[in-house]
Structure 1
Amino acid sequence: MLVLRSVLLFVLAAVAEIGGAWLIWQGVREHKGLLWIGAGVIALGAYGFVATLQPDANFGRILAAYGGVFVAGSLAWAMLVDKFRPDRYDLIGAAICLVGVAIIMYAPRS
């Protein structure tokens, strides 16, 4: 149950961070305005709080593992929202990152 909770928190964190950065990008680069930028700032702040809900108490471990989630999540976001089509090297790299996440977060420790 702890692993499922952790995975769901990583997904929520990815949506908040990637979504927040995307909203700011839209506000600035696509000239959608301050409302989009403000929503992005709020989402990025929410990401910071979501990370604190992880069951592991080690900030460095959580952030390191989240880096792999961010890589895969960014490609997924790009596919869903921006209609980006990753090539096989993008997918292989994301898979390697997710294997790293699993090792960092869920390997048995004494």
Structure 2
Amino acid sequence: MLKTSLLFFVTALCEIIGCYLPWLWLKRGATAWLLLPAGLSLALFVWLLTLHPTASGRVYAAYGGVYVCTALLWLRYVDGVRLSVYDWAGAAIALCGMLIIVAGWGRA
């Protein structure tokens, strides 16, 4: 379970970075060269999703819970936005959903 969770967090970081870099280019006037590492990051994101040993729909559903948590951590530490108790509660619920789905892999 720990290995799967860590893999999901790395996967989420790749997705967020792959989307954040073009955002910097479009919204903040950063260099278009950021599109190259963004594309590589998104390709890595897709590859990482294939490393899980279950049906893709289950992987995507479980990943969603980790993505919520990772996006909120990004919001806090990269964007500098203070999280509310509702943010933390939602992240905890999403993470519990991921753990429940992953616990059922191989049992369905």
Partner of 1:93: 90
Distance 1:57 1:63 in 2: 10
Q: RMSD in angstroms over aligned alpha carbons?
A: 1.4
CA displacement, residues 17-44 of structure 1 (integer Å, 9 cap, x when unaligned): 0111111111111110211122112211
Measure how far apart 1:4 and its partner are. 2.3
Q: 2:64 aligns with which of 53, 64, 67?
A: 67
Gaps in structure 2 of 5+ consecutive residues: none
Contact 1:28 1:37 in 2 (8 A): no
| TM-score of the pair, normalised by structure 1 | 0.89
| Structure 1 gap segments, 5+ residues each | none
Question: What is the TM-score normalised by the length of structure 2?
Answer: 0.91
How far apart are residue 58 of structure 1 and its match?
Answer: 0.9
User: Percent identical across equivalent pairs?
Assistant: 36
1:38 matched to which residue of 2? 36
The number of equivalent residue pairs is 107
Distance in 2 (alpha carbons) for counterparts of 1:4 and 1:72: 15
Give the drift of 1:107.
Answer: 3.5
Runs of 4+ deviating beyond 3 Å? none
